[in-house]
Amino acid sequence: MLKTKVAILGAGFISDIHFESYHRFIPEAEVVAVYARDAAKAKAFAEKHNIPAWYDDIDAILSESGCEVVDICLPNFLHASVTLKAADAGKHIIIEKPLALTLEEADAMIAACKAAGVKLMYAEELCFAPKYERVRQMVKEGGVGDIYMLKQGEKHSGPHSAWFYDKKLSGGGVLMDMGCHAIAWFRWMLNNARAVSVYASMATVYHKDKTDCEDNSVVIVEFENGVIGVAENSWAKHGGMDDRCEVYGTGGVVYADLFMGNAAVSYSKNGYGYAMEKADTTIGWSFTIFEEVFNQGYPHELKHFIDCIQQNKEPLVTGEDGRAVLEIINAAYASAAEGRKIMLPFSPKVERPIDLWHHPQHIK
């Protein structure tokens, strides 16, 4: 079997999930190397997963590892610079969300991949999550009539690493981190319909001691076909990860819940190992998840990209989709600052999207 050689860049939370996906579910791929800034971390990740090579230098992993694909699992502020290097080295790229910090970076990434003739996939796993895919099929079969409203929300009690809370490294708070999922999923459900306006409200309600980023947000996106998408996102919600969608149509409705709705509802007096992502206790009632990585669609997403490389097909979710999501995120920060609907297209010049909320003088 042809095995596509993959290098994972990053050795943190999502890198583990991507590794598990390749290892357990994608025999057509082989992880040949891992990069982390810290050599000890790279070595430990390689040893834990039996990966033959590790690097603490991005240029070296690109030139020496023999990889055909780089899977970018690094903090947001590195997405653009690392994509440019990887494209220059002739590697196909799958990149974690959000695509970049700025629209200029996004444009440069897309252009560099086109110029180098390499594929760029925007890794939005909700487009591949099996339960959400079942919902999409039901809609395609006419099961809900004409969609008039979509809702999607992802909520937990806050990220696992400090960089998420630092806007210079993340570009913004929960909207950048998790609102991007909802927005990408709306576009996916609507065959990439154009968004025409964005309204948002947001605040820092829980993590005021560690960040000036928003940790709770609601965004309403209006699309050209009249559908509205409502994105609810929070880093202030206790009790573990919540990821759910609702589809409302003229002929029906569907609700899907990836975590609580896929869990074994359990009660434990003493507690046990692990219930689900971001659950801080297993004592008392828990939603005990199974096949967490599979249920969120990571193996399906990564398998799709490997198939695109092997069959020379365009990915179903592209850099352009990541850019469209980022534009809507920018508009949401501007809307929250000004208390009004922002019309698209919207192309502000800011170092990071959250600046539009903190310094609304950048909004034109």
Ligand X SMILES: NC(=O)c1ccc[n+]([C@@H]2O[C@H](COP(=O)([O-])OP(=O)(O)OC[C@H]3O[C@@H](n4cnc5c(N)ncnc54)[C@H](O)[C@@H]3O)[C@@H](O)[C@H]2O)c1
Separation between Cα atoms, residue 182 and residue 263, nearest integer Å: 22
Q: Which of the residues 165 through 194 are near ligand X (CB under 6 A)?
A: 177
Do residues 112 and 83 make contact, with C-beta atoms less than 8 angstroms apart? yes
Residue (21 or 335) nearer to ligand X, CB = 21
**Collapsing DSSP states into helix, strand and coil, what is residue 145?**
coil
Site string for ligand X, 92-121 (x = CB under 6 A): ----xx------------------------
| Closest to 167 in 3D by CA, of 211, 233, 110 | 211
Residue 83 contacts ligand X per CB under 6 A: no
Q: CB of 364 within 8 A of CB of 343?
A: no
Q: Is 355 in a helix, a strand, or coil? A: helix
Helix (H) or strand (E) run with residue 71 in it: strand 69-72
**Candidate segments 8-16, 60-68, 266-274, 320-328, binder of ligand X by CB under 6 A:** 8-16
Q: Does 73 bind ligand X (CB under 6 A)?
A: yes
Distances (CA, A) of 46 to 8, 12, 62: 10, 12, 16
Site for ligand X (CB under 6 A): which residue of 7, 8, 10, 165?
10
Supply the DSSP string of 17-44, one letter for each residue.
HHHHHHHHH-TTEEEEEEE-SSHHHHHH
Binding segment for ligand X (CB under 6 A), chosen from 143-151, 156-164, 213-221, 280-288, is: 156-164
Which window, 70-78, 249-257, 306-314, 356-364, contacts ligand X (CB under 6 A)? 70-78
Site for ligand X in 274-333 (CB under 6 A): none
Do the beta carbons of residue 218 and residue 201 sit within 8 Å?
yes
| Between 97 and 136, CB nearer to ligand X | 97
Can you tell me which of 68, 71, 105, 125 binds ligand X, judged by CB under 6 A? 125
Interface with ligand X: number of residues (CB under 6 A)? 22
- Binding pattern for the stretch 17-56 against ligand X, x by CB under 6 A and - elsewhere: -------------------xxx--x---------------
What is the phi/psi pair of residue 54, to 5°? -135, 155
Residues that bind ligand X (CB under 6 A): 10-15, 36-38, 41, 73-76, 78, 96-97, 125, 160-161, 163, 177
